[in-house]
Structure 1
Amino acid sequence: MPPFRDESVFVIATGSQTTRVQYGLPESLTPAQIVVPTRVYRMGESGFSMEGADSDAIYPIKEGVIEDLHALQYLIESLYKGTTKFAPEVVPFAPILITCNSEWRPKQIESIVAHMFNNLRVPAVTVIPESLAAVFSYGTPTACVVNIGHEKTEVTPVIDFCIVETAQTVAHGVGGKLINDELVKLLPNLKPSQIEELKRSKIYEIPSDTSMSFFGEPSAPATSSLEDEGIVDVAAIVTSDNARELLAQREQAKQNGTQSEPKNMELPRNSFVDSNGNRIEVGTERFKGSETLLEQLSQAVGSTITKLDDISKRGDCWDNIVLVGGSTAIKGFVDAVLLSLQEHFIINRANTYSEIPSGLNTPGYSTPVSGGYGQLHTMGHGQVPTNIKIARMAEYFLGWKGHTWEDTQFLGCQIAAKQIFTPGIASIDGAYISKEEFAERGAKHIWTLGLF
């Protein structure tokens, strides 16, 4: 049985852009206590600091790849000591769970594990892949995890909590930066920092209905309607169950001269305030820029799932698409990904294709659809999806209600840490290295824990 207490567990999730940290696991799990840039500063020939000049900044991880191992180890050490508030001479009793990326090399992971034991003198360490952390947060043992970074996306099938490395797709150059690049073309007068702030603002959203095309202007001015012109849909009122109330509400609104505030999608122009306090007005460009990213994400997901040998598990993955990463915080993004996947791959068995023998190829994979998907080969229409669903995070984590999906992997880290390090009904035995095991077997023991 794991011997540690909830309040003594240290969780750290390092990404190319940001690192999230939590010391202690509250009874109701919450988003990370600390979020910092994944950045340190060069001090002298071999030293580092958490503060410094921009010219001395070092980013240890780029596109998921560790480019400066010593800088990353310093970042982990500084955050651990600063968060747990242990004096250097005191032996802390805080086990560590850290996430790793699929592109971290085994020797690098072993070096990080050894550094934690040798330099931080921790009692226990475990390392969990980011994709596995994602499925923990959604409570589903089988899923297709789409981790969308700034400049890279990883698509990873997880079957019964086991990563299928042979089917994993790593798409460099596919990430949130593609949206920035498109917006720069559409809004050349804005600085790159303002483009990023626009993308993160409330006025930037991705339409996923027929009211606006991804490639064009609104089909009609959304700020005008029949009702605005004094024309009332009498048929709709008469057939309504509460016709009297509807008429009374309309009359009251007319007398008060009140109008409901138009939605962002209904406005031809809207504005946001940048970090310098400047109000910037943007037209319908604020609904564009996601087309390339959505297309490439769909291609990566389709290519990944078709690599699975077990056909029955393909359907399970299509039913549980787990989306994580910064871009998922954009309003309408998740819906747009689902729509794109459905447009490219969905097959309705009730249509005429249901009569085609299973030995023949069908649209969505082997037949080119929307140009460029012919390479996604399959052997029969029984192997293509009839349903595609985006997985939903569990509702019982009250601290995460209303929180965006971008860092739900961290929730998975907390759940895993609770099950791995602390006693309970759902505890997982033997999923960490103790200091005694490290002294006897070394950092290579990490590969025997069954987490990779």
Structure 2
Amino acid sequence: MPPFRDDQLFIIAPGSETTLAQLGLPESFTPARYHVRSRMFPAENPGEFEPVKIRRKEKPAVNGAAGEEQPKPQEDGETEWEEDHISEEGAIWPIRNGQIVDWPCFYALMTHVFNTVNPPFHTPVLLISEPVWATKEHEKVTQFFFEKFKVPAFTMVDAAMAASYAYGVTTATIVDVGHTKADVTCVVESMLHDVGRGIAVPGCGGEALTERLWQVLKGRSGFSREMCEQLKKSNICEILPSDVEQPGDESAIADDANPAAAASTGEGQRKPSGAAGDLPKGPGEGTQAGEEKKLEDDEGVLDIASIVTGGNMGDYLAQKEREKQEKAATKQKKGSDAGQQANRPMKLPNNKRTRNTFVYEDFALHEAMKKAGMSDQKMADMQSAMDEGPNKRQKTPEPQGAPSEKPADGGVDGQQQEEPPSPAGPSPSGGFRREIEVGPERFQAATSAGGQPSILDRLADTIHRTVQSCPDINRRSDLWDSLIILGNGSHVRGFKEALLETLQKKFIISPSSATIFTSELPSNMSTPMATGANTPQPQYPGQHQQQQQHQGVNPMLLAATTAQHQHLQQQQPNQGSLPPQQQMQMQMQHHSLHSSHAQTPTSIKLAKIPDYFPEWKETGYDEATFLGAQVAAKVLFVVDAGASKAYMSRTDYNEQGPGGIHEVML
């Protein structure tokens, strides 16, 4: 009988940005049930931490006052405090680049995760360790879990080994692309090779993609780095193959224009004349009415200072309401015209469109309005004005500031449930959503800049060095044919395909090339001549007879195939009649028949993920490391009933101490 059941297993995967956790294994493995932001906030007492930021509660403005007219906080009386689940200002991140940089904060984070899940007492823990962790860090984490939570059993699994468990392979090259770094590991026959391993390679994570987008978009007025981060996570950010051209400005199509703006300003009906009567009515640039003061530019970037501190809230709401009415009128007019409906152009895919829009969740505006003392009613009106029809149904990325500590099935497990939205509009608990328009810059996340190699080139070079450092030379071709690319940093559309294409262009050789046989030449074969034949060597009397028998055959191909297959080799003379030096050479040739073209790969392929996890298939396998941890926990704690002894029990910890974790961890 196994010592533990499926519903007792507790899995934790600490990360630089998000920590994954789950209690119990369902019949069909599912993605992690808890996603907790990997940051804590300083508490009131020094050395203590809180999972949520505590801030001073701002008094709402009176009669719509804003800016200098806001009432000052009362100096007398008790100060009111509130929890801020959105802002991450002043947060402490204990894990950076996979390395634990703040141990007290890390312990507080693990305690918060443990208390959030609230497992029972008899719960074994499996923790996914980062490749950059040293032996001392493994021991400190083991000691903390045994002494703090009194767990009955504990073990660690390396992130690369967990990925191989998820894919069900024993030999693979694992490329884990994280937030600011990437890890490249070779696993051969379920043995992890530390020699030449690419650990925490800087500049190869998802942050490098955001930085590149910020470089090409920071020239736009009002465009922030947070917008670039959410653009990277949207479905319009894409890495195109090298044979696909990026759409240029000259290929812009008419449906990219705003029909409501065209209907209101008369754009598209202008005549080539400078007379005032020939100009459209406006308002807007180049119209009779002239350009009005705009709080939002043509690409959806807001002037936050004008809205919050300038008292322009009413103007902005009126502007959004007018745009809604114009769009509705234009849509109704188009729907009544059957001929125009039939001639409507087809919707182009993202890589064919010059410009496209994504939904941006603006937490900066929400924070500014809250600090300005805006009432909940005004914030609700603002959010209702921005959340237009299509945006309400569109899935937006998870807020960066809001921790997701709720189960995936919608339950809360002891957490306070969210209050229903008020009748006045949606609850302003999150950021304000609005559409932002982006041009071809959304395809340049992985391009090079300033003569520096791109993230794809850096990753490709790291993968090549790691595979070439594998001591088992004959298995290097298998490592190239089983490439696993995972991690949230690789979630951008087209990233994996682009990395595979980069590897194939830089390192692969054609199988038709005769150079692949040079490594298979026996030691008794001389250098080939220009005629395609070899000069026979006198010390090998049987070689001339072999060349006479195989006239017209490629000598490299013949030597390579006969060296690999003993039954194709010609009868060699009796070794007893040869000098001792020639006998030793023939023995060395017999034991070194095949080198598997270890220097350069002839093929590079991605490993195939098992398709018998339907829940994982729906969400994607970017977090497949957690899936591998689920498989490992099932095998180590339940299936083999503890026979493999791949975990430390409480008795083992009392006898061996924290150092015993090195004997059991994978």
Q: Shared fold (TM-score greater than 0.5)?
A: yes
Find the counterpart in structure 1 of residue 658 from structure 2.
Answer: 443
Find the counterpart in structure 1 of residue 60 from structure 2.
Answer: none
The one-letter code matched in structure 2 to 1:409 is T
Q: 2:654, 2:602 → 1: CA distance?
A: 52
The one-letter code matched in structure 2 to 1:114 is Q
The secondary structure found in structure 2 opposite 1:348 is coil
Query: Is the counterpart of residue 34 in structure 1 residue 64 in structure 2?
Result: no
Map residues 303-452 of structure 1 onto 2, 5 A cutoff: 303-354=465-516, 356=518, 383-423=599-639, 429-449=644-664, 451=666
Residue 383 of structure 1 deviates from its aligned partner by 2.8
1:11-30, CA deviations, whole angstroms, 9 ceiling, x for partnerless residues? 00001111000111001001
Q: 2:470, 2:252 → 1: CA distance?
A: 45
What percentage of aligned pairs have identical amino acids? 32
Find the counterpart in structure 1 of residue 434 from structure 2.
Answer: 278
Contact persistence 1:69–1:108 (CA under 8 A): no
Q: 2:178, 2:119 → 1: CA distance?
A: 31
1:191-222, CA deviations, whole angstroms, 9 ceiling, x for partnerless residues? 11100000000100111151226xxx559949
| Mean CA deviation greater in 64-73 or 191-200 | 64-73
1:106-164, CA deviations, whole angstroms, 9 ceiling, x for partnerless residues? 22221111111111011100011111111111111111111111211111111111210
Map residues 123-202 of structure 1 onto 2, 5 A cutoff: 123-170=152-199, 171-188=201-218, 189=220, 190-202=223-235
Residue 55 of structure 1 deviates from its aligned partner by 4.9
Residue 348 of structure 1 deviates from its aligned partner by 1.4
1:428–1:298 Cα change, 3 Å = farther
Contact persistence 1:150–1:326 (CA under 8 A): yes
Q: 1:383, 1:428 → 2: CA distance?
A: 41
Map residues 98-117 of structure 1 onto 2, 5 A cutoff: 98-117=127-146
How many residue pairs get matched?
396
Query: Is the counterpart of residue 66 in structure 1 residue 63 in structure 2?
Result: no
TM-score if structure 2 supplies the norm length? 0.56
Q: 1:335, 1:380 → 2: CA distance?
A: 26
Find the counterpart in structure 2 of residue 47 from structure 1.
Answer: 48
Find the counterpart in structure 2 of residue 203 from structure 1.
Answer: 236
Name which one, 1 or 2, has greater alpha-carbon Rg: 2
Q: 2:53, 2:142 → 1: CA distance?
A: 27
Contact persistence 1:143–1:320 (CA under 8 A): yes
Contact persistence 2:474–2:596 (CA under 8 A): no
Q: 1:114, 1:332 → 2: CA distance?
A: 42
The secondary structure found in structure 2 opposite 1:401 is helix
The one-letter code matched in structure 1 to 2:7 is E
| Mean CA deviation greater in 434-443 or 22-31 | 434-443
Residue 406 of structure 1 deviates from its aligned partner by 1.9
The one-letter code matched in structure 1 to 2:214 is V
Contact persistence 1:39–1:58 (CA under 8 A): yes
Q: 2:340, 2:518 → 1: CA distance?
A: 58
Find the counterpart in structure 2 of residue 229 from structure 1.
Answer: none
The secondary structure found in structure 1 opposite 2:20 is strand
Q: 1:128, 1:110 → 2: CA distance?
A: 14
Contact persistence 1:268–1:284 (CA under 8 A): yes
The secondary structure found in structure 2 opposite 1:22 is strand
1:161–1:254 Cα change, 3 Å = farther
Query: Is the counterpart of residue 79 in structure 1 residue 107 in structure 2?
Result: no
1:255–1:407 Cα change, 3 Å = closer
The one-letter code matched in structure 1 to 2:99 is V
Map residues 186-265 of structure 1 onto 2, 5 A cutoff: 186-188=216-218, 189=220, 190-212=223-245, 221=251, 256-257=342-343, 259-265=345-351
1:66–1:428 Cα change, 3 Å = farther
1:55–1:264 Cα change, 3 Å = closer
1:226-278, CA deviations, whole angstroms, 9 ceiling, x for partnerless residues? xxxxxxxxxxxxxxxxxxxxxxxxxxx99944654211111110011101223
Find the counterpart in structure 2 of residue 121 from structure 1.
Answer: 150
Contact persistence 2:477–2:597 (CA under 8 A): no
Find the counterpart in structure 1 of residue 392 from structure 2.
Answer: none
The secondary structure found in structure 1 opposite 2:477 is helix
Q: 1:220, 1:348 → 2: CA distance?
A: 39
Contact persistence 1:327–1:333 (CA under 8 A): no
The one-letter code matched in structure 1 to 2:116 is G
Residue 309 of structure 1 deviates from its aligned partner by 2.1
Q: Decide which of 96, 105, 108 is 2:125's aligned counterpart.
A: 96
1:85–1:140 Cα change, 3 Å = closer
Q: 2:14, 2:22 → 1: CA distance?
A: 12
The one-letter code matched in structure 2 to 1:263 is P
Q: 2:25, 2:617 → 1: CA distance?
A: 17
| Mean CA deviation greater in 295-304 or 389-398 | 389-398
The one-letter code matched in structure 2 to 1:129 is D
Q: 1:123, 1:153 → 2: CA distance?
A: 33
Q: 1:357, 1:134 → 2: CA distance?
A: 33
1:10–1:152 Cα change, 3 Å = same
Q: 1:141, 1:380 → 2: CA distance?
A: 19
Residue 33 of structure 1 deviates from its aligned partner by 0.3
Residue 4 of structure 1 deviates from its aligned partner by 0.6
The secondary structure found in structure 2 opposite 1:31 is coil
| Mean CA deviation greater in 126-135 or 71-80 | 71-80
| Mean CA deviation greater in 350-359 or 161-170 | 350-359
Q: 1:85, 1:309 → 2: CA distance?
A: 43
1:138–1:448 Cα change, 3 Å = same
Contact persistence 2:94–2:100 (CA under 8 A): yes
Q: 1:175, 1:38 → 2: CA distance?
A: 17
The one-letter code matched in structure 2 to 1:113 is T
Consecutive unaligned residues in structure 2, runs of 5 or more: 55-87, 255-338, 363-432, 448-453, 522-526, 528-594
1:353–1:37 Cα change, 3 Å = same
1:148-184, CA deviations, whole angstroms, 9 ceiling, x for partnerless residues? 1121111111111121001201212322122112111
The secondary structure found in structure 2 opposite 1:275 is strand
The secondary structure found in structure 1 opposite 2:183 is strand
Residue 99 of structure 1 deviates from its aligned partner by 0.8
Q: Over the residues paired in the alignment, what is the CA RMSD in angstroms?
A: 2.5
Q: 2:466, 2:228 → 1: CA distance?
A: 31
Residue 289 of structure 1 deviates from its aligned partner by 2.2
Contact persistence 2:182–2:205 (CA under 8 A): yes
Find the counterpart in structure 2 of residue 376 from structure 1.
Answer: none
Contact persistence 1:144–1:320 (CA under 8 A): yes
The secondary structure found in structure 2 opposite 1:315 is helix
Consecutive unaligned residues in structure 1, runs of 5 or more: 87-91, 225-252, 361-378
The one-letter code matched in structure 2 to 1:322 is I
Contact persistence 1:211–1:218 (CA under 8 A): no
Q: 1:110, 1:347 → 2: CA distance?
A: 45
TM-score if structure 1 supplies the norm length? 0.82
1:352–1:4 Cα change, 3 Å = same
